[in-house]
Chains A and B, each alone.
Chain A
Amino acid sequence: MSDAFAVATYGLSMRYGRETALDGVDLRVPEGAVYLLIGPNGAGKSTAMKVLLNLERPNEGRVEVFGLDTASHASEVRAQVGYIREQHEHEYSWLTCGRLIQHVAAHYPTWDQAYAAQLIEAFGVRVQKKIGALSKGEARRLQFVLALAHRPPLLLLDEPTDGLDPLVRNRTLALLAEHLADTPTTVIIATHHVTEVESLADHVGVLRDGRLVAQMTRDDLRRTIRRYRVEVPEEWQAPPELRIASLRRSRGGREAQWTLVGEEHDVTARLAAAGATVREVTPLALEEAALAFLTEEGAPSWK
């Protein structure tokens, strides 16, 4: 993986009327990364994807994809991208799957006919079937064929597993993993179903209310966010520096549980210095760690 960024946004802000969809977002997605963009519904994930493709116009800030400014090189940027949008419905419901594939292929000089045929078979796409007659899952599989067959350097997948039953989902993710192994690709996956795709991810960004509240590698996330079970004296008050580092806390009697950000030995030392006795430190699963950023009001930014 190189140090260059496949995608970089600078102070990206986007408003729909009075509603803020993105607020000063500074995404940094390294080339070759599989970046999970996590957030609840309405956090701004889909908007961010659309802005990357120049389908939506940001009110402030700018976007670079492989060094190309999307405002001035939008079509060049889209030529680098395989995009699966959140919606399953397709405007061309009157076309057959095969004809839509042919239509999309005509717009990508790098379309790999043999690979497309392979994907069609692997995803079980019925080329004669009308798009309007596809189930959610079938539509999603067709979207995968369209997004992967030109072997784009960047994949933008917006809730890619949405609508897939568990069996098909596993098969689809396995095919995606195969694709990533064969083709050098940077991937951004926007989702709120973290567990389904976490095995692919190596970078994580957390969006909340349009703000990027966390952005780090998966390893950093795992290493620096832990749950601490501590025993504290009566009337104990957490020191200010711990309040800042706290993502989630609960307290019952003299025992408290904190989800804290920081290197374990530092945090343990700070807790001890504050008079708390650390009883247990538990690493969190990726989803749990990411969710921690979403639950605490006023959680600080960790980028």
Chain B
Amino acid sequence: MEVTLHPKPRWRDVVLEQIHIVGLSLRPVGLVIALVLGAGTVVIGSEILGGGPGFDSRETFPTALISFLFPFAVWWREQRFGPAFLWTLPVERRRLALARVFAGFVWLMAALAGFAVWLFVLALIAGAGPAHQVTRIPLVETIAAYLFGSALLVGLRHPLRWLFGAAGVVFLTGNLSQMLERFYGVQSLLGSRRLYDAANDAGDVWLRLPPPAQWAIATSLLLGAGLLALWAALSRHRERRRL
């Protein structure tokens, strides 16, 4: 029998398919988010139109926490350990897990973009000026939280049992953030909170940005720690090497 070995799939095809399939698995979550935002629009809109105080989205939507929990939605229908269907596919396991994490990231970014648009529309309804329409999404925190959450899901068989551990990580991240704020003043950029607080004076906002080097160090620290945690978690799924 003449055997012609079959090729492996292209990496691009694997990633695209993971984006599709993760998108499908997230549909129920998306529906819930849409319902929440829809209800929120009605409540907040009526409050704004009624001359009420409006709302502070920083207090209402803890985006970093949502991002930390987002990997649960990405992986909840997947058997992550053992001889699961996912691992029967002809892709190196660590790369496949990474593709799935990336697919989740794509959908998270899409959700955040949608969220930013929603905030923008609310700001327009409220009649806010351009300076007030600065969308407050702490992007770096959000990404880091997603990386830590993904590491938890990918690396641990029983992530819920480690919830206290995860809470500890969030706590430490918060402390680290404060520490970085103290040393580098990066919170203004990472969290964009100062951007919002100082929105009445747009010029001031830009004057208060930290030096690029400090920003780069702080961002690298946060994202680096997240990537490191993710890499360690992915390594649990590496293909077995010769003993």
Contacts and interface: CB of A to CB of B under 8 A. Distances in A.
Nearest to B79: A91
Interface string B39-54: 0000000000000000
Contacts of A184: 1-3
Interface in A145-169: 150, 152-153
Given A91-B85, A94-B25, A107-B91, A1 B1 contact: yes
Interface in A139-197: 150, 152-153, 184, 186
Contacts of B83: 50, 53, 55-56, 85
Interface string B54-90: 0000000000000000000000011100111111111
Given A57-B240, A62-B242, A91-B84, A106 B77 contact: no
21 contacts: A6-B3, A50-B83, A53-B83, A54-B240, A56-B83, A57-B240, A66-B3, A71-B239, A71-B242, A91-B86, A103-B17, A104-B89, A106-B9, A107-B90, A109-B10, A110-B6, A110-B7, A150-B6, A153-B4, A153-B5, A184-B1
Contacts of A90: 85
Contacts of B16: 106
Given A2-B1, A94-B77, A153 B6 contact: yes
For chain A, the bracket of interface size reads 35 or more
B85 A76 contact: no
Main secondary structure of the interface of A (DSSP, over half): loop
Contacts of B85: 90-92
Interface in A81-113: 81, 83, 85, 90-92, 94-95, 99, 103-104, 106-110
Q: Name, among A31, A55, A78, the residue most crowded by chain B CB atoms within 10 Å (CB to CB).
A: A78
A237 to B, nearest CB: 47
Contacts of A92: 77, 85
Given A79-B90, A91-B85, A94-B25, A108 B77 contact: no
A168 to B, nearest CB: 23
For chain B, the bracket of interface size reads 35 or more
Interface of A: 1-2, 6, 31-32, 50, 53-60, 62, 66, 68-69, 71-72, 74-76, 78-81, 83, 85, 90-92, 94-95, 99, 103-104, 106-110, 150, 152-153, 184, 186
Interface string B174-212: 000000000000000000000000000000000000000
Main secondary structure of the interface of B (DSSP, over half): loop
Contact of B24 (A1, A68, A95): A95
A269 B77 CA distance: 64
A241 to B, nearest CB: 39
Contacts of B7: 79, 109-110
Interface of B: 1-10, 13-14, 16-17, 20-21, 24-25, 77-79, 82-93, 239-243
Contacts of A107: 9, 13-14, 17, 89-91
Q: Name, among B20, B77, B85, B242, the residue most crowded by chain A CB atoms within 10 Å (CB to CB).
A: B85
A-B interface, 4 closest residue pairs, ranked by CB to CB distance from nearest: A79-B90, A32-B1, A55-B83, A106-B17
A54 B5 contact: no
A1 to B, nearest CB: 6
Given A71-B241, A71-B242, A75-B8, A106 B3 contact: no
Contact of B9 (A53, A85, A109, A186): A109
Nearest to B91: A75
Contacts of A91: 77-79, 84-86
